[in-house]
Structure 1
């Protein structure tokens, strides 16, 4: 039977568009190849605007190690180093683990492992930020299969104290007014903050009153932070590091419009370094892993008055006394936390990964696949929300010219 003869083909286009809007981003792209009518619907401006307004389902990212596939790229830098591949998978918060989506696959070269699992630095608005080399960054939208490069940094911008190579990257975000993806960086030796963006040819210095040394006491670089900065209400938010004697904590935020840093109250905690921030139902939220048997969930229910509410205490994803529970902020780097708009939260690591329904106050399921060592799946701290938006400054390379990867699935 041809597509034109099926009952769904006789539905009004508005109804078809409404159905397609509910699909995951990758399924929308595939549906556009079904027939000309669906391609017209899924590429129409009003459809893309409606899709962008819908809150995309959240996933956590995991790295799976596989036997190496034949490497087709001619890059002298990458060829010949790999005996295995790294696959980047998206584990959805709400859906069963069978719905895990493979985003891309690339060689596990000496540049990518074992240090930081592919040098994946961050994710924002459906775009992944990779660090290919010192001062060399690649942006990738695995849904549209497009790439972009940020302006390469001069060597002196990447030097830390005593002129040793450092990690200058502190935040990655989509700047709505300009339509640019931006990387917030700091040069401690030169004493300034700067921004690298897709729409510029060179780094742009920020004029801040605070000294860089003062700000970096309260935030960590992307590679070493326990929680990726959470973008909400036009600001990036870093988790608290220190606490006052009263138990109160402070969250550092960066306004992406005014380009100024500020501090705001955080949840009460005895162990702020064991806390992870995430976004859920349009609110800033925090999961405190400081206790052995439970995890405290806090929500910033009123952003304007900066009022935090302790909403729930859920059982720890790890068995009591097990070695899986992180003991310090370094161990928190391998802990994942993400929420969706249906009241579900996924949290844990490779020794225990569970999904809780906060509204019902119960555990929904365990994600068993990542807890089996033979599968060689490693949970990351990154949260991903797919996007079909095609941004300017991005390009679609041929398979032979694709940077870094050699497979999309």
Structure 2
């Protein structure tokens, strides 16, 4: 007998519109209902529309929890009485929308299980020396990058950037070996590290950029370039930003905004523009936007009240204090800024502070804000697979 349920009679466009309204975990499950739904939910148009509608820009925070009972005494020494949960805190959504992404033992050795960066909905972890793990917590998929040869593992913190290479569809890590004096790329589509053809002097570049684990601000990908925050001033008072072109694989410099304290700034992307939050003043945060990328023209658009009270211990005092500061902007003109001593959401359209994020600054919650920005993605990259407990020992659960 022919199925005459209402959903069967609906056109695919209407079904797609209904499915777009579901939470991500139910979209993933809906593909098992029938082939038609699986075809709809895996189509490029559906995934692009889903990303546009439902994946908010978030900052990442670490929450410490009692360990999951089933995870204690894991093989490999990963058993722990406490877990680390990685949570996404949307820029402007209610605090109840905070979403737990992954959960793993808090006592993982320091050299592995480290979150290094986030890009295009994918988290980069250092699983062990020379071995990296890519994790898409929304699509619940993971991939391992090719293990580095032993002679590349002698360098401490070789990772400088993480990005998605659009022409090849690969996720790539930009690395530097100070012992070998070379820059190289580790990617999902290669069997091993590949040296840059134009290999600049590492000492020259390292004057202006820092490794991912020690930087005060994660480099921002935009228009095919990775951008690092300025670390020095020109004679005229302007700052300069080091960038890496991910297509030509060359380093370049672009103009930065005027700043009296260039080491006290954070780069972020907002509404398709490169932006800077300048923390050089005690009571104010200056927001600059690169309005003309080709012409390198910056505009000082907003002055927001600093989230910290005057004289607060939470306010960053130097370049290293910036490591604890989070800044991110969304498509609605909202900017979240601060750390665990004060975290607020500022509206550039209303030119005022909208609210404080209390859950992240209450010590009893044991939530620690990071400098990482995350926007989820349901895109199924071919190099990713669904994990099982044997292949994915660092993760207890996806929520």
TM-score, L = length of structure 2: 0.93
Q: 1:361 to 1:381 in 2, by over 3 A?
A: same
CA distance in 1, matches of 2:282, 2:378: 41
CA distance in 2, matches of 1:315, 1:92: 20
SS of aligned partner of 1:402: coil
| Match for residue 212 of structure 1 among 181, 193, 202 | 202
Q: Deviations over 1:349-378 (max 9, x none)?
A: 001111111011011111100111010000
SS of aligned partner of 2:190: coil
CA distance in 2, matches of 1:249, 1:310: 14
The alignment of Structure 1 onto Structure 2 pairs a total of residues equal to: 397
CA distance in 2, matches of 1:202, 1:237: 25
- What does residue range 78-227 of structure 1 map to in structure 2 within 5 Å? 78-80=77-79, 82-112=80-110, 118-160=113-155, 166-208=156-198, 210-227=200-217
Unaligned stretches of 5+ in structure 1?
A: 161-165
2:277 matches 1:287: yes
SS of aligned partner of 1:267: strand
Shift of 1:79: 3.0
SS of aligned partner of 1:29: helix
Q: Deviations over 1:41-82 (max 9, x none)?
A: 2123442354467794211000000011135498643433x2
SS of aligned partner of 2:207: coil
Q: Is the CA contact 1:33–1:39 (under 8 Å) kept in the aligned structure 2?
A: yes
Q: Is the CA contact 1:289–1:295 (under 8 Å) kept in the aligned structure 2?
A: yes
1:44 corresponds to: 43
SS of aligned partner of 2:125: strand
2:314 corresponds to: 324
- What does residue range 215-294 of structure 1 map to in structure 2 within 5 Å? 215-294=205-284
CA distance in 2, matches of 1:27, 1:344: 28
1:13 corresponds to: 12
Instruction: Select between 399-408 and 206-215 the one with higher mean Cα deviation.
Output: 399-408
1:163 corresponds to: none
Shift of 1:402: 2.3
CA distance in 1, matches of 2:83, 2:163: 28
Q: 1:194 to 1:328 in 2, by over 3 A?
A: same
TM-score, L = length of structure 1: 0.90
Q: Is the CA contact 2:88–2:101 (under 8 Å) kept in the aligned structure 1?
A: yes
Q: Is the CA contact 2:51–2:376 (under 8 Å) kept in the aligned structure 1?
A: no
CA distance in 2, matches of 1:148, 1:202: 15
CA distance in 1, matches of 2:78, 2:69: 10
CA distance in 2, matches of 1:372, 1:107: 23
Q: Deviations over 1:151-191 (max 9, x none)?
A: 1112322334xxxxx11000001111111110100011211
Q: Is the CA contact 1:356–1:364 (under 8 Å) kept in the aligned structure 2?
A: yes
SS of aligned partner of 1:77: helix
Aligned alpha-carbon RMSD (Å): 2.4
Unaligned stretches of 5+ in structure 2?
A: none
Q: Is the CA contact 1:56–1:386 (under 8 Å) kept in the aligned structure 2?
A: yes
Q: 1:190 to 1:347 in 2, by over 3 A?
A: same
Which stretches of structure 1, 4 residues or more, deviate above 6 A after TM superposition? none
Q: Is the CA contact 1:73–1:406 (under 8 Å) kept in the aligned structure 2?
A: no
